Structure 1
Amino acid sequence: MLTHVVYDIEGTTSSTGFVHDTLYPYSRERFAAYIDEHGHDPQVIAQLDAVRELAGEPDADVERIVWWLNHWLDDDQKVTPLKAFQGWIWTDGFAAGDLTSHFFADSIPAIRRHHAEGRTLSIFSSGSVSAQLAWFGNTPDGSLLDLFSHHFDTENIGPKRVTESYDLIASRLGAPADEIVFFSDLVAELDAARDAGWHTVGVRRQGDQYFDQGVGDHLAIFSFDEIDLSGDAPTLVDRAANTR
């Protein structure tokens, strides 16, 4: 029985293009101001030090740190300090009403359906936990936060393309690996999850950033409406049976 569902966000439940075209510029415009305003907060100091360590520049000032954040943003690198600053900035933006998160039309109904079926739902994203909370707390359909039990990111778990990260998530969930199904659009993530014993489903969104790369030999869907989680492994919905 599939008791746990873990979702990726970008390219899976939501458009990568929206994140890149709306959220990335929003954070870019506010890195310097956010650091100026919150530079004495311990969590911010920790991430400033993390930027200096990753950059190999222990004496980097705020201007240089902002340069590095923008550099990593330009390269779309999943760097923890970048994701932390983005998460804090986006949280403020959602709270101010400047931002509303994006979801594919089939995503929110599927999330609600999976929860109603009694499954435990979690997120594993390169976006920080604070960004995830802001994202799922400010959807076009209202807050979805009460539907999720766990939010995992690269800081509290580890890289998304490493099998050990999925082992750790299973341990945190207290669930056997073969009762967990992971939805993602990226082959490397799906491979790592499968190597940990998880079930995997590749989500392909026409026109999204990684669509042309496919999902390897993983079970592939173009919409959550195509998947059946009622058995011991995910299967495709038998649409012919439904029309008879």
Structure 2
Amino acid sequence: MKPIAIVTDIEGTTSSIRFVKDVLFVYAERFLPEFVRKHKEERDVARQLRSMSESTGIPQKNTEALIDQLRLWMHEDQKVTELKALQGMVWERGYQRGEYQAHVYADVPPKLQEWLDEGINLYVYSSGSEKAQRLFFRYSSCGDLRLMFAGYFDTTIGAKQEVQSYLNLAEQIALPPKDILFLSDIEGELDAAADAGLNTIWVVRPQEGTVAPKKTRHAIVNTFSEIEL
């Protein structure tokens, strides 16, 4: 039975890991400290810094200590919601200035359109903030794709390798898990989604250097064009 909704990851699934690591992460490392210093009193930034302060115990007024913590999280590639939100704000500047475009594999947009034409609702679930996800697909190498998706989800609904996160996602889009297909390049995420009752497909892109084990519970494809519902 065809799914009513398809939820996709971004990095390594619709898009190159290299772009995220070599372009976006490097840009954030360079400009995030300056951005926080300059905008720390503004509402959206202050909200994230306050949340950081509450979770780490670092006083909100100690801006440099908060920046050091952000640098540490970036170095460790931590999926911390406050970090992802602030990164998204910094990346927006780069997109708007035309300093880069988000990479999307060429096989992705035609398949997304095919699914939309079949009446399937499309969603994104990524560790990047909702804002960063919208920017990513707005300023993509394949044009503005953001309106192809009915909704965006980030780690505010839960970590991507936790079963409860996918139950939360299903509740938010008001569908039984069995009616949702989840696409990702990470086996741990797919395992959690499957344990929550979602259907899963493992997108293993050779150019990313990903190698799937010989035995897995998930269907495997190398491109979106290979996905048959």
Aligned-pair CA distance for 1:172: 1.2
Aligned equivalents of 2:11 and 2:3: distance in 1? 23
Given that 2:204 and 2:212 are in contact with CA atoms closer than 8 Å, whether structure 1 keeps it comes out as no
1:145, distance to aligned residue in structure 2 (A): 1.5
Could you state the TM-score of these two structures normalised by the residue count of structure 1?
A: 0.87
Asked if the contact 1:52–1:60 (Cα under 8 Å) also holds between the matched residues in 2, the reply is no
Distance 2:73 2:61 in 1: 15
Equivalence map 1:180-191=2 (5 Å) = 180-191=180-191
Asked if the contact 1:163/1:195 (under 8 Å) is kept, the reply is yes
Structure 1 residue 153 and structure 2 residue 154: aligned?
Answer: yes
In 1, Cα distance between the equivalents of 2:180 and 2:199?
Answer: 6
**Which segments of structure 1 move beyond 6 Å, counting only runs of 4 or more?**
none
1:55 alignment partner in structure 2 = 56
Structure 2 runs not aligned, ≥5 long = none
Partner of 2:201: 201
Q: State, as a whole percentage, how many aligned pairs show the same letter.
A: 37
Alignment of 1:158-237 (within 5 A): 158-208=158-208, 211-212=210-211, 214=213, 216-229=216-229
* Number of aligned positions between the proteins: 227
- Alpha-carbon distance between aligned partners in 2 of 1:38 and 1:151, rounded to the nearest angstrom: 26
Question: Do the aligned residues in 1 keep the contact of 2:4 with 2:179 (CA within 8 Å)?
Answer: yes
Whether 1:12 and 2:13 are equivalent positions in the alignment is: yes
- For the residues of structure 1 that align with 2:212 and 2:83, how far apart are their CA atoms? 26
Checking the alignment, whether the CA contact within 8 Å between 2:163 and 2:196 is kept in structure 1 is yes
Match of 1:40 in 2: 41
Unaligned runs of 5+ in 1: 230-244
Pick closer, same or farther for the CA change 1:119–1:32 going to 2, 3 Å.
Answer: same
RMSD: 1.7
TM-score (normalised: structure 2): 0.93
Q: How far, CA to CA, are the matches of 1:184 and 1:69 in structure 2? A: 27
